[in-house]
Chains A and B, each alone.
Chain A
Amino acid sequence: MTVETQKTAASEKAAGKKGVGADGERRLNMIDAINDALDIMLDRDPNVVVMGEDVGYFGGVFRCTAGLQEKHGKTRVFDTPISECGIIGVAVGMGAYGLRPVPEIQFADYIYPGLDQLISEAARLRYRSAAEYIAPMTVRSPFGGGIFGGQTHSQSPEAIFSHVSGLKTVIPSNPYDAKGLLIASIEDNDPVIFFEPKRIYNGPFNGYYDKPVEPWKKHAQSIVPEGHYRVELGKARKVTEGDELTVLAYGTMVHVAEAVCAAKGVNAEILDLRTIVPLDIEAIEASVKKTGRCLIVHEATRTSGFGAELSALVTERCFYHLEAAVERVTGFDTPYPHSLEWAYFPGPVRIGEAIDKILSE
């Protein structure tokens, strides 16, 4: 976990630095890209407020809000009580007033006390009031495992939110997308759950936990332009072009799938879904109809995971193009174990086995 003090985009900007690397490009890690997006939106829109446990003076346990309170003031960026129900509840009220709150839930595992406010209130407010009131909030929350967080700091609960009508769920996999998707989410008039895969905050972890992780600066998607830009919600990104197999993934698993396909020499077309609601069904259909094979990879538990929805959609829409059964690679249906983290994690072995199976049919 990153609790050491880091330079952030906001602090760099304050110091007049640009974060420019040797190649002349501005390269940021996920944390700085998120910080940059928040900084820009706090600047551009006086109705944006950032709040959450430890996000104010301290700048967040993962440093995503570092420097923001100092720059934008205590009534724009502030700490909250340890009450997720309260954090989401007051964000609903702030949205009704006309603010655009960006609450942080410190770990996705802590979001459950706020579920009623998210599911019954934020998600339903537009519908139940016939658009008299809306809940334009973006709930940021680090999620996923791979940092030895044990069962209460490692979960991937995205499927719960995809099941709720009225919520959008966004999961970036790299610094460029993290900034553009976060800006698009904050500007969106619907409530958005923005899950940040914490394992890749500092580098594109590829699943080979016994090998060193490359820093973001060596990755093409770490080039993060200055200023405002959007990555539209509901548009998947084609990570690799291929014709043997379609891989549907998001967050950390994009990088793991990419590494495994490269290691196995499989000519896979990997789609980074980026948002699961709204879902880029056109990109999924086009790719699967082309390759005839589909592998779905997510870190979350298997039963009723989002992979089940994807598998059903692909089967419903691409059945006559499929040459093999759709495969899912997921976490196991157990709590995330602390000591056996890597046995739980859907790593290269599990993915490789699934690829072999699909390609053998």
Chain B
Amino acid sequence: MADRPDQAQQGQNKPTLQLHVPEPSYRPGDAVDFGHLTIPEAGAQPRPDEGCEASETNPLATDLIRVLGDDNLPHGPWDPKLDADTLREMLHHMAMVRAFDERMFRGQRQGKTSFYMKCTGEEATSISAAMALASDDMVFPSYRQQGILIARGYPLTEMINQIYSNSADKLKGRQLPIMYSSREKSFFSISGNLATQTPQAVGWAMASAIKGDSRIAATWVGEGSTAEGDFHAACTFAAVYNAPVILNVVNNQWAISSFSGFAGGERTSFAARAVGYGIAGLRVDGNDPLAVYAAERWAANRARSNAGPTLIEHFTYRAEGHSTSDDPSGYRSAQEREEWPLGDPVMRLKDHLIALGEWDEDRQKSLDEDCATEVKKATKEAEKNGILGHGLHHPFRTMFEDVFEELPWHLKEQSAQAIRERETKFPEGLSE
């Protein structure tokens, strides 16, 4: 008999329909056990050729590419075989980002700026990835990739000027702190709107291909923001035009207070999104700096040889709050950070170098001290240009500039109005 709706049964559906509202495993105070996570052995994952069919990577989209083992040594075909100098450089960048985050967080608490976002625990996902790219490959980051700027040698003082929105801020005090932009470092202007950068990266990559250029594009987006339509448009366009682009999804488990389940993480991996679009997908241990480097390098080689885009899920953990405006103790168990089974990327890289006989605890200690000193110096330097809300900011008239290339009449009128208001408020006069 045909399986057709039975008129008599209408309204009698059993069981009654139920809406599933995802719930994270642990809430504040809960004991944490990450035993349910499948963590494969380092080195167990195959490494296909960069020019392979996208479908050949499908198993890797639900696996976890790992290189550094419990013995702190590299294993398997994904070992990028980096020399000790490169590893030390990577460690230096990571220590610097950590020192920078520490000081900027403190600066926000001291009232020097309005806002800050740390990337603690996620350093490898930006630093190791950036080191696997050419320095002129264009990056379209989200808001937690300060590691890229540091890896590319952008001056700390410039970063702090932006964070303080002071008179030397190259963005003229217009952007929320940490929304950097550096054309010189091939670093696109960060947007506060989520995932908008993903189709933009694809468009840049398409333009590079239209022009027969050799540069590729890479973008970063959080796992929560993959729910945005922009991300899916990016995947579609990347697939359709075989764009030379890398789509990095940083799965740090939490989007402010919403766990990854609210972006579909209960059903499949984020790398598995790639399967449906027919692009290469890799899921990588985001706290394993060597694995991140290797995956990004693989994707860059693939893109550069016209073999197509790659979606990389960096499986990591947001060790701190979303931002200075967030207190994670209100929604997740503090034990999660301690119990995170993939460890800390900085410690893992340090232990690796020590295991190689190329590093020791004393050198680490002095590295950390040097970074803290350098950040402190840069902070003092930036503070000469002012901190937020203390008068030293860009000249008043710049507020109306750059809305358009040229100032139209209505903005001229509004600018005159603003100047009048200022003269009324400060009749004794201000320099700007």
Contacts and interface: CB of A to CB of B under 8 A. Distances in A.
Given A49-B210, A90-B206, A94-B207, A126 B405 contact: yes
B17 interface: no
Contact of A132 (B189, B217, B405): B189
A305 interface: no
Interface string B383-420: 00000000000000000001111001110000000000
A91 interface: yes
B97 interface: no
Given A90-B203, A116-B193, A126-B403, A97 B229 contact: no
B249 interface: no
Nearest to A117: B196
Given A81-B237, A128-B171, A92 B203 contact: yes
B403 A93 contact: no
B157 interface: no
Nearest to A82: B236
B191 A121 contact: yes
A211 to B, nearest CB: 40
A81 B230 contact: no
A116 B230 contact: yes
**Chain A CB within 10 Å, residue with most, of B203, B204, B211, B405:** B203
Q: On chain A, which size bracket covers the interface?
A: 35 or more
B132 interface: no
Nearest to A96: B204
A279 B206 contact: no
Given A90-B206, A166-B403, A96 B200 contact: yes
Nearest to B172: A130
Contacts of B202: 86, 89-90, 93
A98 interface: yes
Given A93-B206, A98-B207, A133-B189, A128 B182 contact: no
A93 B189 contact: no
A91 B208 CA distance: 13
A92 B404 CA distance: 16
Contacts of B170: 130, 132
B206 to A, nearest CB: 6
B109 interface: no
B181 interface: yes
Nearest to A191: B404
B72 interface: no
B31 to A, nearest CB: 41
A293 interface: no
A121 B240 CA distance: 23
B404 A166 contact: yes
A93 B201 contact: yes
**Chain B CB within 10 Å, residue with most, of A89, A91, A277:** A89
A127 B403 contact: yes
Given A89-B233, A93-B199, A99-B207, A128 B410 contact: no
A153 B115 CA distance: 44
Nearest to B210: A75
B299 interface: no
Nearest to B204: A93
Contact of A190 (B172, B196, B205, B405): B405
Nearest to B212: A75
A207 to B, nearest CB: 31
B196 A128 contact: no
A335 interface: no
A93 B171 contact: no
B198 interface: yes
Contacts of A131: 402
Contact of A93 (B193, B205, B236): B205
Interface string B232-245: 01101100100000
A234 B174 CA distance: 27
Contacts, number: 145
Contact of A117 (B199, B204, B207): B199
A113 to B, nearest CB: 7
B188 interface: yes
Given A90-B203, A131-B402, A96 B188 contact: yes
Contacts of B200: 89-90, 92-93, 96, 121
Contacts of B189: 125, 128-129, 132-133
Contacts of B140: 93
A97 B236 contact: no
Interface in A311-356: none
A113 B203 contact: no
A11 interface: no
A278 interface: yes
A189 interface: yes
B183 interface: yes
Contacts of A132: 170, 181-183, 189
B55 interface: no
A239 interface: no
Nearest to A46: B211
B234 A86 contact: yes
Interface string B212-236: 0000010000000000011001101
A120 B403 contact: no
A93 B207 contact: yes
B196 A121 contact: yes
B354 to A, nearest CB: 41
Interface string B160-191: 00000000001110110001011100001101
Contact of A94 (B175, B196, B206, B410): B206
A281 interface: yes
A281 B182 CA distance: 37
Given A75-B210, A96-B203, A97-B204, 12 more contacts: A81-B236, A89-B200, A89-B233, A89-B234, A89-B237, A92-B199, A94-B207, A96-B204, A99-B211, A113-B229, A121-B196, A125-B189
Enumerate the 6 nearest inter-chain pairs by beta-carbon distance, A residue then B residue, closest first: A93-B203, A89-B199, A90-B203, A86-B233, A97-B207, A93-B200
27 contacts: A75-B210, A81-B237, A86-B237, A90-B200, A90-B237, A91-B203, A93-B203, A94-B203, A94-B207, A96-B203, A97-B203, A97-B207, A97-B211, A99-B211, A113-B229, A125-B189, A126-B405, A127-B402, A128-B174, A128-B191, A129-B171, A130-B174, A132-B181, A188-B405, A189-B405, A278-B409, A278-B410
